[in-house]
Amino acid sequence: MLTTFVYLLIGHIFWQYEFGPKLGEGSYGYVHAGTRCKDGLKVAVKIAEKTPNMPYIRVPGHPKRLPMEIGLTLVANEGPSVPQIIKLLDWQDDPDHYVMVLERPIPSMSMFSFVKLRRRLNEGMARNFMWQVIHAANICCKRGVFHRDIKLENLLVNPDTLEVKLINFGCGTLMKDSAYVAFNGKEMFCPPEFDVDGRYHAKPATVWSIGILLFVMVCGYFPDDKDLHMISKNDWSNTDLSQECCQMICSCLHPDPQRRLVLEEMQLHDWFML
């Protein structure tokens, strides 16, 4: 902690932002509430410790290589503004850590907390959230970013407006057509083809994650082995859900990635037409 703030004293962020209470903490480091001094804008300040093998990437317009998370967040924000993707407002790259200043919607809470409070969501609310998540995932892929960790904890919800923002690109990587052979996200969101073959592709894996997300939203729990078996046979249903919603879940969670719903076509599914 002391070392971090010594470096912040050297960098510009310490002087341009006022630090508030801690909002969260994880293996990456921690996030503080903050305020931009010049205009009072409320922000989140993420301070992440560097590891010896932490990846860097080159981003057009930046002379030096950047830590992967900073670079991916910048690339995801390139082009027209997308409200469903968290904005990176400032950053600082120091020898043993890096700092990211991100927008902080007020009010906001994680999707995990939002669903936990309600136990499960009605289909209308879930549909609204899913449209936003799918849009964010599509934009990221189009801009060359594979988020790779779309889960409840990495979605911010404004409980007043029900607007959603995709956050935390720390497990992400650059898009490629070939297969990936490492998975860094939460185990339940890992696509089955990785367990079977040790490899997976970006878009089908993203659809799997979104399918798990939808299941948890409308059911209030993660699918177990019995659920996944029934889904694999396209024979899963829930009396509290519409047929279209059940079919959407089955199409997202097909064990064969080639038969899974296509990411770019998700918003055309019958469930979104209700």
More confident residue, 4 or 151: 151
CA nearest to 130, candidates 109, 155, 95: 155
pLDDT at position 162, please?
98
Mark whether 149 is an active-site residue: yes
Contact at 8 Å (CB) between 271 and 244? Answer: yes
**For residue 10, pLDDT beyond 70:** no
Indicate the residue among 41, 68, 103 that finishes a domain. 103
**In this structure, are 117 and 96 located in the same domain?**
no
pLDDT at position 68, please?
96
Indicate the residue among 73, 103, 133 that finishes a domain. 103
pTM listed for this prediction: 0.93
184 band by pLDDT with thresholds 50, 70 and 90? confident
pLDDT at position 270, please?
97
**In this structure, are 68 and 136 located in the same domain?**
no
Catalytic residue among 39, 94, 149, 195: 149
Per DSSP, the residues of 152-210 read GGGEEE-TTT--EEE---TT-EE--SS-B----S-GGGS-HHHHHHS-B-HHHHHHHHH
Distances (CA, A) of 55 to 67, 80, 128, 132, 151: 6, 27, 35, 29, 22
Residue-wise pLDDT for 100-146, tens only, equals 999 999 999 999 999 999 999 999 999 999 999 999 999 999 999 99
**For residue 7, pLDDT beyond 70:** no
Largest alpha-carbon pair distance within the chain? Answer: 60
**For residue 197, pLDDT beyond 70:** yes
**In this structure, are 258 and 227 located in the same domain?**
yes
**In this structure, are 127 and 187 located in the same domain?**
yes
**In this structure, are 260 and 144 located in the same domain?**
yes
Q: What is the mean pLDDT of the chain?
A: 93
Count of domains for the chain: 2
**In this structure, are 148 and 38 located in the same domain?**
no
pLDDT at position 1, please?
43
Label residue 150 left, alpha or beta by phi (over 0 means left) and psi (-120 to 50 means alpha). beta
Token pair, residue 270, equals: 């019958």
CA nearest to 46, candidates 125, 101, 85: 101
**In this structure, are 96 and 140 located in the same domain?**
no
The span from the CA of 79 to the CA of 243, in Å, is 38
Token pair, residue 148, equals: 């790779």
**In this structure, are 126 and 248 located in the same domain?**
yes
pLDDT at position 11, please?
65
Indicate which CATH number applies to the domain containing 268: 1.10.510.10
**What range does the domain containing 19 cover?**
2-103
Sheet holding 109-110, edge to edge: 109-110, 155-157, 164-166
**In this structure, are 15 and 59 located in the same domain?**
yes
216 band by pLDDT with thresholds 50, 70 and 90? very high
**For residue 5, pLDDT beyond 50:** no
**In this structure, are 250 and 219 located in the same domain?**
yes
Range from 29-33, 76-80, 132-136, 200-204 carrying the lowest mean pLDDT? 29-33
Indicate the residue among 103, 125, 160 that finishes a domain. 103
**In this structure, are 148 and 97 located in the same domain?**
no
Indicate which CATH number applies to the domain containing 93: 3.30.200.20
Sheet holding 42-49, edge to edge: 17-26, 29-36, 42-49, 97-103, 88-93
**In this structure, are 75 and 125 located in the same domain?**
no
